[in-house]
Amino acid sequence: MEKLVFGYLALAILVSALLVVFSRNAVKAVLWSLVLFLHQAVLFLTLQAEFLAAIQIIVYAGAVLVLFLFVVYLINLREEITWPRFLSAYPLAFLAILFLLALSGAALSGFRPAPPKGILTAGALLAQGHTRILGEHLFREYVLAFEAAGVLLLVAVLGAVVLVRRIREEGR
């Protein structure tokens, strides 16, 4: 049963990811990535990671993709602009993909899951709940890294605002 569910999820994720790339319509592409994210969340659920599954939906499906849709709406692309191929050597890409597949196949065949280290065994995770453990580690041990990441993101946001303001003022 578990294998069946995993098989379905893996297949659905792969197919929807391909559909994201191949969709002619930008809105459809965003929606296929919504399907992709939902399946990913269920995959987290089968691994008992409820918190991650919920965050996946809230952040990616609920916020990021809605913003994507917003942008796609604003530029209002009903159909993709068709363009003549600008690379004549595109068959070489298939060769690269073939090599990539061979490489990842070789890497995966030698894959062994690492044994749990320290106190974070599967049993301890289940007993305490992911949310608590994640919070404790994030805000105690790794609080410096967490804050640094927060400041970096803030800088990026401020940078974007400054850039947009400058363009507007020049336009005036």
Partner 1 sequence: MEAILKAALPGIILIVEALVLLVVALLHVAYTTYAERKVIGHMQQRLGPNRVGPRGLLQPIADVVKLLAKEDIVPLGADKGLFYLAPFISLVAGATSLAVIPIWNRFVLADVNVGLLVILALSSLSSYGVILAGWSSNSRYAFLGGLRASAQVVSYEVAMALSLVGVMLMAGSMNLSEIVKAQISSPFKIYALPQIIGFFVFMVSAIAETNRVPFDLPEAETELVAGYFVEYSAIRFALFYLAEYFGMVVMSAVAVTCFLGGWAGPFEVPGLPFFWFLIKLYALLFFYIWVRATLPRYRYDQLMGLGWKVLIPLALLNIVITGGLKLWW
Dmax over CA atoms of the chain, in Å, equals 63
Q: Which of 63, 154, 160, 164 binds partner 1 (CB under 8 A)?
A: 63
Piece of the chain touching partner 1 by CB under 8 A; list 1-9, 26-34, 115-123, 140-148? 26-34
User: Binders of partner 1: how many residues, by CB under 8 A?
Assistant: 20
What's the CA gap between 170 and 16, in Å, rounded?
42
Q: Which of 15, 17, 19, 27 binds partner 1 (CB under 8 A)?
A: 27
CB 104 within 8 A of CB 65: no
Q: Which of 7, 62, 150, 159 binds partner 1 (CB under 8 A)?
A: 62
Nearest residue to 54 via CA among 148, 153, 134? 134
Piece of the chain touching partner 1 by CB under 8 A; list 6-14, 59-67, 94-102, 143-151? 59-67
What's the CA gap between 160 and 147, in Å, rounded?
20
- Beta carbons within 8 Å of 34's beta carbon, 6+ residues apart: 61, 65
Piece of the chain touching partner 1 by CB under 8 A; list 11-19, 68-76, 111-119, 143-151? 68-76
